[in-house]
C-alpha cells in the first residue's frame, strides 16, 4: 500500500438484516458523494464464496489497494475478509447498526451513512507502514539469578536451541534450593523425602553447549530494547553482552527477623524455617521441637499474603527432626494446613508418624524460660487456652521478594520492573501471568509470586518461553501480547516536540527514554502499541500508521452534522477495543437497542484519546462525547495498565477546555464497562443520549 496512490473501494454486504434495515443504494450514494472515484460493490452475502469471488474480481480489476468493508463486526469472518495485498477496514453495520437500531428508519440510515464515511475517511488517512525491526537482533537470552527458577529457565531455553547467559551474584548456583536438606517426595513415588537435585540440574546445565555461566557476577546496566539489549556485567572488570530478551529470577529473601521478636525471635531456641533447614544439617536436634505456622504471614501487621511454600516446608522439617532424632517429639501449631493438590498425601504421610502432634491454634505468647520454651496458645482445638512447652521453636516465616532494581535498567522510568502489591514483580492479570510491563523482560519464580520449588521450575520455563517469543516477534517487527501481530509502531514528528515528556511518563511500558538534551527517545521494540502516547502528546507529535491524530480527526469530521433545529443530537462514542467494543457487539448480538444518534470510534485504549479530538468534535458540533473503556482501580482490567485511569485524570483537564468553550461539563463523560456487561453498556449509551437531549444541542453546531 503506498501513500501516494490510493485506490479505495467500498463493499457493502446486505445480508444478516443489513439490507432489510438500510437502504444500501442510498448508502453507497452518500459514500461516493464524499469520495469521488470510489469503487463500490454490494452483495447479499459478502462472506459467501460467490460474494468473495465477486469482491476479489472487482478489486483486481480496479487495482484497489484499500478496501472499506461494510458488513458484520471485525471480530467475525476475519479469515474470509483477509485479502492479500489489500488494507481492509471494517465498518460494523450489523452488530452496531442493523441489530441495535430501528430498521428502515431515517436515523438508522444516517448512522450507517456516517459510520461508512468515517471509515472511508480513516482509510484515506492511513499511512504506509514499514515495520520496525532493530538494526541488530540477538537471539540470545540473559537469565539473572541462579536459583531453581533461573537454572530451570536456562536449561529449558538451552534445550530449545537458544544461547543462554546465566548470571549469579554469589559463588555458586542453586540459591535457597541448593541449601536444603531434602526435597518433598514426588506425589506418585514412595513415601520418602527425596535427595536434593539442584546439583544434577547444574551438571546438566554445564554440559549443554550454548550456556554461559557467570558466577560472582552482577548486572551493571541494561539498556536497549527487546531483540537488542546491551548488558554490562561486572565480572573481571566488565563484560558486555548483546541479548534479545531477559529473564529475571532473583528470588526471595526471608522476612525481616527483627519483626519477629514478639514471637520469641532473638532467643537461641527460636529459629526461622531457613535457619532450621541449615541447623538440622549441622547441629544435634533437641527432643521437643514446636513449629509455628503462618508466623508473620497472613497478618496485616507483617506479611499480608500467604507464602504458599511454608506449610509443606514445615511438615517436611518435622520429618527431618524425627529422622535425625528418633526420640524427638514435634508439635505443630497451625491456622490452616495448606497442603493442596497431591500434597494432601504428603500431609498424611507426615501424620503417619505418631510422634508428630498437630493442632490449630493462635500463639499468644512465646517465652524463653531459660531451660526451655513456653508458649501460650488460644483458640486451640485442645482447649480454649493451653500451655505447651518445648526445647526449640521454629517459626514458619514467609518469603519476601527481592526487588528487580538490580537489573539496573537504564530506563527513564526506573531500574527495575514495576511492582504490584506486596512488592512482587508480577502481572496483574490472571489469564496472563507473564504480561510484563517491561517488554522482553520476564520475571520468574519467587521474585514474581510466592511459590515453592516445584512451581518455580515451571515458572522458569514459562518465562523463558515468553522471552523466546519476544525475540521471535521482534524479528518479524511484530508487537507482543496483547496486540500480538501488530506491525505498526509509534512514529514521532520530532520537529514539533516540546520535550514535555508526557509520553515518557505516561507510557505504561517505559518505551521512552530521554536523550541527554531531555528529548523523548522512543524504543519501538519495547512498545505494546497501546497508543497512550498518542493521547498524551499535547503537540500531537505521535501516531501509528493506521491510528494517528489525522486518521481519527478525519473520522470525527466525516460525520454530517444536522443543525440544531432537526433535534437529532450527535454523540461521539470512543470505545476501547479490549472490553468495550466486544461488549457493544454483544449488545448487538442480544438485539439490545440503543440510540441511533451515536457515532462509534474504536480506539486502542481510552488512554490513546488525544485532547485535540475532543476539541475537534466539539467544534464540529457533536453534542456529547462519551468515552467507554475497561475498569480502572485496584482490580483494574485495562491491559495497558492505566489507560482508563489516565482518562479519568485527563478528564479534569478537559473540564477546562469545556469551560473555555462555555460548554456544560456533562458533555464529556467517561464510563467503565466489563466485557460481559452488554446490558449496562446499552443503558450507558441510552442514558447519556437522554442526558444530552435534556442539556440541549451544542451551540457550536450551527457555526
Number of residues binding to other proteins, judged by CB under 8 A: 111
> Within positions 447 to 476, which residues make up the interface with other proteins, using CB under 8 A?
449-451, 455, 458-459, 461-462, 464-466, 468-469, 472-473, 476
Check binding of 348 to other proteins (CB under 8 A).
Answer: yes
Check binding of 703 to other proteins (CB under 8 A).
Answer: no
Angle in degrees, CA 662, 616, 30, rounded to 5: 125
Smallest distance from the beta carbon of 273 to other proteins, in angstroms? 16
Smallest distance from the beta carbon of 584 to other proteins, in angstroms? 11
> Within positions 399 to 428, which residues make up the interface with other proteins, using CB under 8 A?
421-422, 424, 426, 428
> Within positions 546 to 575, which residues make up the interface with other proteins, using CB under 8 A?
none
Closer to other proteins by Cβ: residue 106 or 186: 186
Smallest distance from the beta carbon of 669 to other proteins, in angstroms? 22
> Within positions 166 to 205, which residues make up the interface with other proteins, using CB under 8 A?
187-188
Closer to other proteins by Cβ: residue 113 or 426: 426
Question: What 8-state DSSP symbol labels residue 136?
Answer: S
User: 103, 20 in Cβ contact below 8 A?
Assistant: yes
Check binding of 351 to other proteins (CB under 8 A).
Answer: yes
Q: Which of 217-225, 254-262, 402-410, 584-592 is the region at the interface with other proteins (rule: CB under 8 A)?
A: 584-592
> Within positions 589 to 608, which residues make up the interface with other proteins, using CB under 8 A?
589-590
Distance of alpha carbon 68 from alpha carbon 93, whole angstroms: 12
Out of 23, 65, 329, 564, the only residue in the binding site for other proteins (CB under 8 A) is 329
Smallest distance from the beta carbon of 703 to other proteins, in angstroms? 41
> Within positions 60 to 79, which residues make up the interface with other proteins, using CB under 8 A?
72, 75-79
Distance of alpha carbon 641 from alpha carbon 629, whole angstroms: 12
Closest CA to 362 of 336, 329, 341, 339: 336
Element (H, E) at 212: strand 211-214
Q: How far out from the chain centre does Cα 659 lie? A: 36
> Within positions 655 to 674, which residues make up the interface with other proteins, using CB under 8 A?
674
What residue spans of 558-696 are helical by DSSP H?
A: 580-589, 611-620, 643-660, 678-695
Out of 354, 371, 516, 656, the only residue in the binding site for other proteins (CB under 8 A) is 354
Out of 6, 360, 501, 557, the only residue in the binding site for other proteins (CB under 8 A) is 360
Check binding of 695 to other proteins (CB under 8 A).
Answer: no
Out of 235, 242, 298, 557, the only residue in the binding site for other proteins (CB under 8 A) is 298
Query: 101 exposed, middle or buried (CB, 10 Å; 0-12, 13-18, 19+)?
Result: buried
Closer to other proteins by Cβ: residue 396 or 461: 461
Q: Which of 165-173, 227-235, 253-261, 578-586 is the region at the interface with other proteins (rule: CB under 8 A)?
A: 578-586
Alpha-carbon distances of 655 from 438, 576, 619, 636, 691, rounded to whole Å: 33, 21, 15, 24, 17
Out of 159, 242, 253, 568, the only residue in the binding site for other proteins (CB under 8 A) is 159
Check binding of 35 to other proteins (CB under 8 A).
Answer: no
> Mind giving me the DSSP string for 28-91?
HHHHHHHSTT-EEEEETTTTSHHHHHHHHHHHHHHT--EEEEEES-TTSSTTTT--TT-EEEEE
Q: Which residues touch 162 (CB under 8 Å, ≥6 apart)?
A: 139, 140, 141, 210, 468
Question: What 8-state DSSP symbol labels residue 1?
Answer: -
Strands 228-234 and 218-225, sheet pairing: antiparallel
Q: Which of 271-279, 334-342, 521-529, 615-623 is the region at the interface with other proteins (rule: CB under 8 A)?
A: 334-342
Out of 241, 356, 614, 626, the only residue in the binding site for other proteins (CB under 8 A) is 356
Reported for 352-355, long-range contacts at CB under 8 A and 24+ positions apart, including other chains, are 352/191, 353/318, 353/319, 353/322, 355/322, 355/328, 355/329, 355/330
Check binding of 485 to other proteins (CB under 8 A).
Answer: yes
Distance of alpha carbon 268 from alpha carbon 136, whole angstroms: 57
- Phi, psi at residue 225, to the nearest 5°? -145, 170
Check binding of 209 to other proteins (CB under 8 A).
Answer: no
Distance of alpha carbon 413 from alpha carbon 532, whole angstroms: 15
Smallest distance from the beta carbon of 309 to other proteins, in angstroms? 9
Amino acid at each position: 500500500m503506498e501513500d501516494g496512490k490510493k485506490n479505495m473501494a467500498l463493499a457493502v454486504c446486505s445480508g444478516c438484516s443489513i439490507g432489510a434495515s438500510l437502504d444500501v443504494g442510498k448508502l453507497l450514494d452518500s459514500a461516493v458523494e464524499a469520495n469521488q472515484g470510489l469503487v463500490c460493490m454490494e452483495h447479499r452475502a459478502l462472506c459467501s464464496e460467490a460474494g468473495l469471488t465477486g469482491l476479489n474480481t472487482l478489486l483486481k480489476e480496479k487495482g484497489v489497494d484499500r478496501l472499506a468493508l461494510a458488513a458484520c463486526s471485525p471480530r467475525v469472518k476475519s479469515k474470509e475478509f483477509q485479502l492479500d495485498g489489500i488494507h481492509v477496514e471494517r465498518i460494523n453495520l450489523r452488530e452496531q447498526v442493523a441489530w441495535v437500531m430501528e430498521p428502515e428508519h431515517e436515523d438508522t440510515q444516517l448512522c450507517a451513512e456516517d459510520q461508512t464515511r468515517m471509515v472511508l475517511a480513516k482509510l484515506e488517512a492511513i499511512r504506509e507502514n514499514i515495520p520496525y525491526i532493530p538494526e541488530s537482533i540477538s537471539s540470545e537470552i540473559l537469565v539473572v539469578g541462579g536459583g531453581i527458577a533461573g537454572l530451570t529457565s536456562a536449561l529449558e531455553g538451552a534445550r530449545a536451541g537458544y544461547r543462554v547467559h546465566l548470571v549469579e551474584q554469589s559463588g555458586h548456583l542453586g540459591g535457597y534450593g541448593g541449601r536444603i536438606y531434602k526435597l518433598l517426595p514426588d506425589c506418585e513415588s514412595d513415601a520418602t523425602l527425596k535427595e536434593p537435585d539442584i546439583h544434577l540440574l547444574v551438571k546438566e546445565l554445564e554440559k549443554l553447549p550454548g550456556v554461559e555461566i557467570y558466577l560472582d557476577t552482577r548486572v551493571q546496566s541494561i539498556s536497549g530494547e527487546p531483540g537488542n539489549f546491551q548488558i554490562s556485567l561486572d565480572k573481571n572488570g566488565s563484560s558486555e553482552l548483546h541479548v534479545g530478551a531477559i529473564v529475571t529470577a532473583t528470588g526471595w529473601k526471608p522476612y525481616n527477623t527483627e519483626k519477629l521478636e514478639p514471637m520469641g525471635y532473638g532467643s537461641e531456641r527460636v529459629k526461622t524455617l531457613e535457619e532450621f533447614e541449615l541447623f538440622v544439617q549441622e547441629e544435634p536436634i533437641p527432643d521437643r521441637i514446636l513449629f509455628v505456622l503462618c508466623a508473620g504471614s497472613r497478618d496485616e501487621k507483617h506479611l499480608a499474603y500467604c507464602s504458599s511454600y511454608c506449610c509443606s516446608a514445615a511438615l517436611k522439617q518435622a520429618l527431618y527432626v524425627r529422622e535425625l532424632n528418633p526420640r524427638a517429639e514435634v508439635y505443630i501449631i497451625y491456622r490452616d494446613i495448606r497442603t493442596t493438590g497431591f500434597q494432601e498425601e504428603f500431609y498424611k504421610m507426615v501424620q503417619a508418624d505418631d510422634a508428630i502432634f498437630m493442632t490449630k491454634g493462635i500463639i499468644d505468647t512465646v517465652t524463653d524460660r531459660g531451660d526451655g520454651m513456653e508458649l501460650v496458645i488460644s483458640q486451640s482445638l485442645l482447649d480454649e487456652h493451653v500451655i505447651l512447652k518445648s526445647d526449640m521453636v521454629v517459626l514458619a516465616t514467609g518469603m519476601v521478594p527481592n526487588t528487580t532494581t538490580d537489573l539496573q535498567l537504564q530506563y527513564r522510568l526506573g531500574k527495575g520492573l514495576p511492582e504490584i502489591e506486596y512488592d512482587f514483580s508480577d502481572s496483574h492479570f490472571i489469564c496472563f501471568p507473564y504480561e510484563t510491563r517491561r517488554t522482553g523482560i520476564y520475571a520468574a519464580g519467587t521474585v514474581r509470586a510466592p511459590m515453592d520449588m516445584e512451581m518455580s521450575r515451571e515458572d522458569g520455563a514459562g518465562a523463558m518461553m515468553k522471552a523466546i517469543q519476544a525475540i521471535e516477534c521482534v524479528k518479524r517487527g511484530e508487537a507482543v501480547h496483547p496486540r500480538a501481530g501488530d506491525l505498526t509502531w509509534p512514529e514521532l514528528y520530532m520537529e514539533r516536540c516540546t520535550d514535555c515528556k508526557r509520553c515518557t511518563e505516561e507510557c505504561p511500558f517505559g518505551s521512552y527514554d530521554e536523550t541527554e538534551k531531555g528529548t523523548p527517545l522512543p524504543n519501538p521494540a519495547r512498545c505494546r502499541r497501546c497508543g497512550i502516547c498518542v493521547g498524551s502528546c499535547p503537540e500531537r507529535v505521535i501516531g501509528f500508521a493506521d491510528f494517528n491524530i489525522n486518521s481519527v480527526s478525519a473520522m470525527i469530521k466525516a460525520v454530517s452534522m444536522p443543525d440544531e433545529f432537526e433535534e437529532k443530537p450527535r454523540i461521539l462514542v470512543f470505545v476501547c477495543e479490549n472490553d468495550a467494543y466486544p461488549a457493544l457487539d454483544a449488545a448487538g448480538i442480544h438485539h439490545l437497542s440503543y440510540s441511533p444518534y451515536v457515532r462509534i470510534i474504536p480506539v486502542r485504549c481510552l488512554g490513546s484519546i488525544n485532547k485535540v479530538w475532543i476539541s475537534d468534535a466539539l467544534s464540529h458540533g457533536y453534542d456529547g462525547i462519551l468515552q467507554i473503556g475497561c475498569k480502572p482501580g485496584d482490580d483494574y482490567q485495562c491491559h495497558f495498565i492505566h489507560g482508563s485511569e489516565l482518562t479519568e485524570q485527563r478528564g479534569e483537564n478537559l473540564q477546562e477546555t469545556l469551560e473555555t468553550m462555555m460548554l456544560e461539563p456533562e458533555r464529556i463523560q467517561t464510563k467503565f464497562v466489563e466485557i460481559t456487561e452488554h446490558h449496562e453498556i446499552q443503558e450507558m449509551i441510552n442514558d447519556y443520549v437522554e442526558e444530552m437531549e435534556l442539556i440541549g444541542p451544542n451551540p457550536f453546531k450551527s457555526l
